[in-house]
Amino acid sequence: MRPYVYITRKLPDAVIKPLKQKFTVNMWDYEDISVPKDVLLAEAKKADALLTMLTDAVDESVLSAGERLKVIANMAVGFDNVDIEAARMRGIAVCNTPDVLTASTADLTFALLMATARRMEEAARFVKEGKWNSWSPFLLAGQDVHHKTIGIVGMGNIGEAVAKRAAGFDMNILYHNRSQKPEVEHKLGAVYATFDEIVSKADFIVCLTPLTSETKNMFTIDVFREMKKTAVFINVSRGPVVNEQDLYEALTTGEIAAAGLDVFEKEPIGREHPLLTLKNVIALPHIGSSTIETRTAMMTLCVENIESILTGKPPKTLVNKEWQPV
C-alpha cells in the first residue's frame, strides 16, 4: 500500500507530480478557501504526510488523529500554526520553507514601507475618484524614506534582506534581535539597539519577528506612545505581535503617523475592521512571499521534504531538529 499524502490547498499538478508518481495523493479542491477542520481531521487519520498552509491549525487534535503521520510540510517560514511539541512527542517531522522566500518578502516589506510613507494607495485612489483638480505644493505630501532611520525588529534572513534594501536608500539602520549579527553590522553598517531604543529613535519601525509567547502583543499602546509622532509602523511578521485595538488608537490619536500591514490577528481580516477605515493604513492580504516564482519554490520545497521523509532520506528544512522517527 502506497503512503498517503494530503494537501490542504489546490496546488498545480506540475508541482505535485513527483508525489503522485510515488504516493497516493489527495488534495483540497479550492485555492482560496481553507480546508474545514473536520475534513482535515478525517484526512489526518489516513495520512502519512500533510502539506499544510499557515492558515491550517495543525494542533493536538490533528496530530493525535494522525496515527500514521510521519511529516508535516508547512508552506511558510513561520510554524506557529503547528504544535511542535505534540509533533515531537509523536515522532512527526515538521518542515518549513525558509530561504526561498527571503528576497521576495523583503521586496514586499520595503515596497509597503515606501507606499505607506509616500501615501501611494491614497494618492492612486484620489486620481481614480476624479478628485485631482489642480496641483498644490503639499498635495498628498508624504515622508521621505532616504536618509531616515529604520528600526528592524527581528533580524533573521528577511530582516537582513530588508536592511540591504534600506542601505541602498542611505538609511540609518538599527536592529533588535535575540542575538547580535556582527557580520550584518560590518557589511551594512547596521547598529544593534535595544527594543526601547528602536521604538524611540526610528522613523520606520519594521516588525519581522516570529510569533512566540514572548513576542505576542509586543506592540501595545504604551509602545506606540514612545514612538515619534511621525513614525511609520510596518508589520510583515504575524498579526498577533500587535494589539490591533491599541494600534487603531495610536493612529487615530496621532501617536504615530501611519501603518503598513500585511498580517492581522485574524485572517482574512473583516471589511468592517476599524483599521480598514483609516486613510493612514495600507492593508495587504498577507502577500509577503506572493510571487509566482517564490510560491512555486515554496510548494516544491514542501514536496521535496515529504518525498525525503517518506523514502527514508533526511529532509531539507527540518524545524524540530531533535526529531527522530518512531
**CA triple 95-100-106, angle to 5 deg:** 120
Q: What residue ranges in the chain does DSSP mark as E strands?
A: 4-7, 24-27, 49-52, 71-74, 93-95, 149-153, 172-176, 191-192, 204-207, 232-235, 258-261, 281-283
Joined grid coordinates for residue 29:
479542491
Half-sphere exposure of 112 (CA within 13 A, CB side): 32
Question: Is 286 known to be catalytic?
Answer: yes
Question: Is 267 known to be catalytic?
Answer: yes
Catalytic hit among 9, 165, 176, 238: 238
Cell 500514521, located at residue: 68
Catalytic hit among 60, 185, 265, 267: 267
Joined grid coordinates for residue 165:
534594501
Catalytic hit among 9, 165, 286, 295: 286
Cell 506540475, located at residue: 14
Q: Report helix, strand and coil shares of the chain as percent, to nearest 5.
A: 40, 15, 45
Annotate 191-216 with DSSP letters as a single string.
Answer: EE--HHHHHHH-SEEEE-PPP-TTTT
Joined grid coordinates for residue 231:
513614525
How far apart (Å, rounded) are the C-alpha atoms in residues 175 and 153? 6
Half-sphere exposure of 261 (CA within 13 A, CB side): 26
Pairing, β 24-27 against β 172-176? unpaired
Question: Is 176 known to be catalytic?
Answer: no
Q: Which residues are catalytic?
A: 238, 267, 286
